[in-house]
C-alpha cells in the first residue's frame, strides 16, 4: 500500500505553509521528512494522516482519500504520533499504551513485545505525568506501534527528538523492522546524520516547497542541504566503512 501526496498546498490565516507538494512513500521503506523549522513538516504530516484538510491537492492511501476515512478505518490503517503529545494525561503508562487499541481488537502479546523492546516494563504502573519527557515519548511510541496493524501506515512527527541516543536507536530499529514486515513509515527528523543512516527515502522541504524527494543518498546531497538549512554538510567514513553525514561550518542561507 502506497501513500501518495499530490499537489498539496495549505494556507493558514496568517501565512502560507505548503505549496504544490507531491511525493510518494512506499511500503517496506522508511521515508524521512526533512526541513528547517517552519518549512511545513508538521502540516504535511497532519495532512498525510487525514487529520488536516489541505487547501488544495489530495492524499491517498492504497488508492483511497485519507480525509474520507471513517474513524475506525483510520485507526486500523494509519498510526500517528504528533510532535507534542499530551503530557498531563491522568493515566498510567499501561493505560496509555492500551489506548492504541481502543478502536481495534486487543493484542496483549503484541503489546508485551513492544513494552520489552522499549524497556518500559518497570514503568507500567507509574502515573504517566510523573515520567521524564524522554520516557513519555517512548510510551507514546509504544502506543502508536501497538495500534499499528500489519501493512499499515505509520506517521511520526520527530519521534526521537526528546530521547537519549540509546532509546532513539532502539526506536528507529523498531521502525525499520516494521518496514521490513511491509509497513510504510513516514517520519520527520532534524538529525540529518541519523536520517541518512536509518532511512531508505527522503522528502526535503524548503520554505513550504518540495526541494527534492527520492532515495535518501540522492536527496541528502551536501549542496542541497546547505541551500535548505544554511549549513554545510559532508559525508565522513567511519571505521566500519559506512558513511555518516555531518554538519560543517555555518553559512548564511541563500535567499
CATH code at 197? 3.40.50.300
Name the pLDDT band for 61 (thresholds 50, 70, 90).
very high
Whether 253 shows a pLDDT value over 60: the answer reads no
- Start-to-end Cα distance in the chain: 38
- Asked whether residue 223 is assigned to any structural domain, the reply reads no
In a domain, 220, yes or no: no
Mean pLDDT across 198-219: 96
Q: Is residue 20 part of a domain?
A: yes
The 10s digit of each residue's pLDDT in 15-24 is: 999 999 999 9
> Is there a domain that residue 221 lies in?
no
Q: State the DSSP code for 250.
A: E
Q: The domain containing residue 69 runs over which residues? A: 3-214
pLDDT at 203 over 60: yes
What is the reported pTM?
Answer: 0.94
Is residue 245, in this structure, part of any structural domain at all?
no
254: in domain: no
Q: How confident is the model at residue 251 (pLDDT cuts 50, 70, 90)?
A: low
Name the pairing type of β-strands 201-206 and 209-215.
antiparallel
Query: Grid coordinates 565522513 are at which residue?
Result: 236
Query: Which contiguous run of DSSP H or E holds residue 44?
Result: helix 41-48
Q: What is the mean pLDDT of residues 161-166?
A: 94
pLDDT digits (tens, 9 = 90+) for 67-121: 899 988 999 999 999 988 877 889 999 999 999 999 899 899 999 999 999 999 9
Please indicate, yes or no, if residue 22 is contained in any of the structural domains.
yes
pLDDT score for 250: 66
Task: Indicate whether 152 belongs to any domain.
Answer: yes
Q: Note the Cα 216 to chain centre separation in Å.
A: 15
Split at pLDDT 50, 70, 90, the class of 237 is confident
The total number of structural domains in the chain stands at 1
Amino acid at each position: 500500500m502506497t501513500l501518495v501526496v499530490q499537489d498539496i498546498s495549505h494556507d493558514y490565516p496568517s501565512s502560507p505553509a505548503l505549496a504544490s507538494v507531491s511525493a510518494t512513500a512506499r511500503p517496506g521503506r522508511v521515508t524521512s521528512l526533512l526541513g528547517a523549522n517552519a518549512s511545513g513538516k508538521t502540516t504535511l504530516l497532519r495532512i498525510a494522516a487525514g487529520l488536516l484538510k489541505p487547501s488544495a491537492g489530495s492524499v491517498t492511501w492504497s488508492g483511497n482519500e485519507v480525509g474520507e476515512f471513517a474513524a475506525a478505518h483510520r485507526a486500523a490503517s494509519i498510526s500517528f504520533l504528533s510532535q507534542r503529545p499530551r503530557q498531563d494525561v491522568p493515566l498510567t503508562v499501561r493505560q496509555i499504551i492500551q489506548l492504541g487499541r481502543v478502536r481495534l481488537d486487543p493484542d496483549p502479546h503484541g503489546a508485551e513485545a513492544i513494552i520489552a523492546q522499549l524497556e518500559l516494563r518497570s514503568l507500567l504502573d507509574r502515573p504517566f505525568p510523573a515520567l521524564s519527557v524522554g520516557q513519555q515519548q517512548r510510551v507514546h511510541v509504544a502506543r502508536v506501534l501497538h495500534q499499528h496493524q500489519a501493512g499499515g501506515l505509520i506517521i511520526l512527527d520527530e519521534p526521537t527528538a526528546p530521547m537519549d541516543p540509546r532509546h532513539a536507536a532502539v526506536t528507529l530499529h523498531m521502525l525499520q523492522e516494521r518496514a521490513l514486515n511491509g509497513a510504510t513509515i513516514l517520519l520527520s527528523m532534524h538529525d540529518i546524520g541519523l536520517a541518512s543512516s536509518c532511512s531508505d527515502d527522503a522528502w526535503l522541504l524548503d520554505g513550504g516547497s518540495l526541494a527534492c524527494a527520492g532515495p535518501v543518498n540522492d536527496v541528502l546531497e551536501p549542496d542541497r542541504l546547505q541551500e535548505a538549512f544554511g549549513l554545510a554538510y559532508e559525508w565522513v567514513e567511519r571505521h566500519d566503512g559506512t558513511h555518516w553525514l555531518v554538519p560543517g561550518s555555518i553559512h548564511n542561507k541563500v535567499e
